[in-house]
Amino acid sequence: MPFLLILFVLLLFFPYLLLPLMIFFGIGILFLLPYVLVFNSFYNVITIPWQILKIAVDKRIRKNHSLEHATVNVLEQRYGRNLRIGGLAYANGFSLSGPDLPSPYEIIDAAREGHFRMIRGETDLAIHPRCGTSIAAANFLFSLVFIIVLFSYHHLSLVNMILAFLAANLLSKPFGMTLQKYFTTYPDVGDIQILDIYGKPAPFGFPFEIVVNPNRTYFIRTVSEL
């Protein structure tokens, strides 16, 4: 304890003593960064297609993913702007969370409107430009291009990483939309019934937690009528 107290006092009155330590850690991070990128790229190339495939083979998840997107699209049309809302689809429904979520009554009303409009032929509501599928597509493309560049030039450089990043960003949007349309959504939701909406309780049970953490989460339960 005396040693830690002396160290704290020294750093408090002589903060420049931290400079050598910061330089040491900075050099270490720069040295490890290429290896982290290589590992992360191989990991993404293997795991992201598997995650997409798990969704693609389950039409219940794909239909609920479509309803999730339709709900967010309807809400954003009503408010006339992008909303900070994220979602996850499951076999028995979907969840929405984020600081811009309106009341649960408005959410389930938007879900039912999106459901009705998709049945009437507005299948474009099943696609959302900020879907996690598009983010996964960008990560996959960057990782794939990065690996191709690595094996083509046999070395890492800042120029190679920038080229991989630019190529991934140019291709990620159309690639992500294609993945959504053919693999992670299914707009034929005529056999799906929206049952109810449930609020997720605060993790620690504090009623004032909404002030500290404004994110709310709701789960919209669905069932297949067939």
SS3 labels along the chain: CHHHHHHHHHHHHCHHHHHHHHHHHHHHHHHHHHHHHHHHHHHHHHHHHHHHHHHHCCHHHHHHHHHHHHHHHHHHHHHCCCCCCEEEEECCEEEEEECCCCCHHHHHHHHHHHHHHHHCCCHHHHCCCCCHHHHHHHHHHHHHHHHHHHHHHCCCCHHHHHHHHHHHHHHHHHHHHHHHHHHHCCCCCCCEEEEEEEECCCCCCCCCHHHHCCCEEEEEEEEECC
Judged against a pLDDT cut of 90, whether residue 33 lies above it is answered with no
Confidence label for 17 from pLDDT (cuts 50, 70 and 90)? low
CATH code at 55-127+187-226: 3.30.980
pTM over 0.75: yes
Average pLDDT over residues 106-128: 95
29 vs 58, residue with greater confidence: 58
Q: How confident is the model at residue 207 (pLDDT cuts 50, 70, 90)?
A: very low
Q: What is the pLDDT of residue 141?
A: 82
Residue ranges matching CATH 3.30.980 in the chain: 55-127+187-226
Per-residue model confidence (pLDDT) at position 172: 78
pLDDT of residue 104: 92
Q: How confident is the model at residue 223, as a pLDDT?
A: 94
